[in-house]
Structure 1
């Protein structure tokens, strides 16, 4: 009998979760498309192929994957609250417990299903989602308002630290066209004394040859006796080991990398002396902490909704939605705190789980002992 109950609960869990997932995707997709149609139309002025159909095929499928993984905990929590409350209201849970099964035994299919979803989401977060983000982020800037679009696609000063002794500065760099003006490369010795400087009026990235092309350049080499050697010319090709996206990364770059690639990137940036890595570290730790929260929130939802209450399904759903949004909002708020270096990224991304885990455990064992 209990195996039949297990299959019944697993079917209920996955069925409700799938329905919630599809419902969220469709509703949010329709709302988002309606909101962003004017911006998509403006994108056609930059590139005629960027019409609505192009975005529906090349942007929104990958955007939905990102959306689902962001709100996975909410979907799980509300799904468990919903179908468990219905079971409680129909006295199905009372019938199972009255048959001699313990509450711990009744909770087994919840554990199995939540572990399945958690492991699946873990694999998606670490390997599939970065691929989807690459596709999404290629077009996402075109859906921003004019101010935010200019930050991503427009022209702005950029800088890069190649090592503890080497630096690049570009006074005006266009990320979309990959060209700019006011290029400066400087190299220092261990005493922080400049030993080499390269300046150029204009610079652009040659994607075919994977090199920067400097126009109107002046080289200055400073010898140990402080004498200088000058060299100048019109055209100079230089390779600094990485493409512009790697040299001048934004916070979206970490989203585009699988976890092994992200670990290598973070390690490389630390070796270069870059201490501004919290946004990428947040991305790294959240990929694991969010799937773990699926199990925690499953048992929290089970504990809150497995008893018949006055107000029934409505009060349970209201409570569930409130707690789920508090949980996800706390992740986003703590990201900002971490990026401002007020909290370590590891603590920031695991802090919601650390708070909700004891709450879920207390409520679960309280319910099991009733």
Structure 2
């Protein structure tokens, strides 16, 4: 009997979840395309291939993956609220409990299904989503407004710390063309005395040979006796170990890396002496904390919706949607707090779970003991 009930609840859970997943994807896709058509037309003016059809094939499928993963916790929460409230209103839960099953036994299929979804989400977050983000982020900037697009594709000063004693500065670097002017490379000894300086009027990235090409360069080597050795030329090729995307990263870079790659990147930046890593650490910790939240929110939704209430399904959905959006909004707000270094990234990205877990346990045990 109970195994039949388990299969029934799992089928309800996965069926409702799949329906809401498809519905959300279609509705949001249509709204987003309509909103961004003017910006896509502007992109087409820059490159004739960047028309709406190109975006529908090369951008939106990967954008949808990112969207679904971002709102996965909300989807799970609303799914459980919806189908459990319907079961409660139809007195199905009362019948199951009255047959001799405890509330803990009744909740087992919720646990199994939420763990399954969380494990899939864990794999997607750590390995599949970064691949989708690489595809998405190639075109993402073209869907931004002019100011935000300029931050990603435009021209701005750039700098990088290669190690604790090596620095690169570029007065004006164009991220889209990978070309700039006013290049300076400086190297210091342990006493912070400059030992070498290389300047060039302009620089560009040779994608084929994976090298920086410096034009009209001037170099200076400072010896221990403070004597100087000077040199210059029209072209010099240099390899600084990484592509421009790595040397001059933007906020999208962390999204593009699988977790092993992201861990290596963070360790490399720490070795360089880069202390501005919180946005990447937020990304790293969120990839685990969000799947865990699926289990927590499943039981919170179960506790809130497993009793028949005055107002029925409507009041449960209203409470559920409000709490779900509060949960996701708290992640976004805490990211900002963490990037301002008011909280550590680990605490910021786990804090919503740490707050909602005791609340969920309280409501669950209260419901189980009724």
* Fold shared, TM-score > 0.5 on shorter chain: yes
Q: Which residue of 2 aligns with 1:24?
A: 24
1:165 is displaced (CA, Å) by 0.1
Q: Which residue of 1 aligns with 2:246?
A: 246
Question: Hey, what's the Cα distance between the residues in 2 that align with 1:136 and 1:253?
Answer: 12
Q: Does 1:337 align with 2:358?
A: no
Q: Does 1:234 align with 2:201?
A: no
**Could you list the per-position Cα deviations for residues 208-237 of structure 1 after superposition, in whole angstroms to 9, with x for gaps in the alignment?**
110000000000001111111100000000
The alignment partner of 1:357 has SS state of helix
Question: Hey, what's the Cα distance between the residues in 1 that align with 2:152 and 2:82?
Answer: 41
Question: Hey, what's the Cα distance between the residues in 1 that align with 2:145 and 2:359?
Answer: 40
**Could you list the per-position Cα deviations for residues 228-257 of structure 1 after superposition, in whole angstroms to 9, with x for gaps in the alignment?**
110000000000000000001111101000
1:101 is displaced (CA, Å) by 0.3
Q: Which residue of 1 aligns with 2:153?
A: 153
Q: Does 1:357 align with 2:357?
A: yes
Question: Hey, what's the Cα distance between the residues in 2 that align with 1:232 and 1:351?
Answer: 55
Q: Which residue of 2 aligns with 1:47?
A: 47
Question: Hey, what's the Cα distance between the residues in 1 that align with 2:2 and 2:72?
Answer: 28
Q: Which residue of 2 aligns with 1:137?
A: 137
Question: Hey, what's the Cα distance between the residues in 2 that align with 1:20 and 1:331?
Answer: 22
Question: Hey, what's the Cα distance between the residues in 2 that align with 1:212 and 1:107?
Answer: 60
1:78 is displaced (CA, Å) by 0.3
The alignment partner of 2:360 has SS state of helix
Unpaired runs of 5+ in structure 2? none
Q: Which residue of 2 aligns with 1:258?
A: 258
Instruction: Map residues 175-190 of structure 1 onto 2, 5 A cutoff.
Output: 175-190=175-190
The alignment partner of 2:163 has SS state of coil
Q: Which residue of 1 aligns with 2:195?
A: 195
Question: Hey, what's the Cα distance between the residues in 2 that align with 1:236 and 1:281?
Answer: 36
Question: Hey, what's the Cα distance between the residues in 2 that align with 1:237 and 1:88?
Answer: 71
Question: Hey, what's the Cα distance between the residues in 2 that align with 1:152 and 1:238?
Answer: 25
Q: Which residue of 2 aligns with 1:275?
A: 275
Q: Which residue of 2 aligns with 1:306?
A: 306
Q: Does 1:94 align with 2:94?
A: yes
Question: Hey, what's the Cα distance between the residues in 2 that align with 1:310 and 1:116?
Answer: 33
Question: Hey, what's the Cα distance between the residues in 1 that align with 2:152 and 2:297?
Answer: 36
**Could you list the per-position Cα deviations for residues 92-141 of structure 1 after superposition, in whole angstroms to 9, with x for gaps in the alignment?**
00000000000000000000000000000000000000000000000000
State the Cα RMSD in Å.
0.4
Q: Which residue of 2 aligns with 1:328?
A: 328
Question: Hey, what's the Cα distance between the residues in 2 that align with 1:20 and 1:4?
Answer: 24
1:147 is displaced (CA, Å) by 0.9
Question: Hey, what's the Cα distance between the residues in 2 that align with 1:46 and 1:283?
Answer: 32
Question: Hey, what's the Cα distance between the residues in 1 that align with 2:352 and 2:230?
Answer: 58
Question: Hey, what's the Cα distance between the residues in 2 that align with 1:310 and 1:149?
Answer: 49
The alignment partner of 1:161 has SS state of strand
The alignment partner of 1:162 has SS state of strand
1:20 is displaced (CA, Å) by 0.8
Q: Which residue of 2 aligns with 1:80?
A: 80
Question: Hey, what's the Cα distance between the residues in 1 that align with 2:58 and 2:17?
Answer: 26
Question: Hey, what's the Cα distance between the residues in 2 that align with 1:114 and 1:17?
Answer: 11
Question: How high is the TM-score relative to the length of structure 2?
Answer: 1.00
Count matched residues.
Answer: 370
The structure 1 segments of at least 4 consecutive aligned residues displaced by more than 3 Å after TM superposition are none
1:260 is displaced (CA, Å) by 0.4
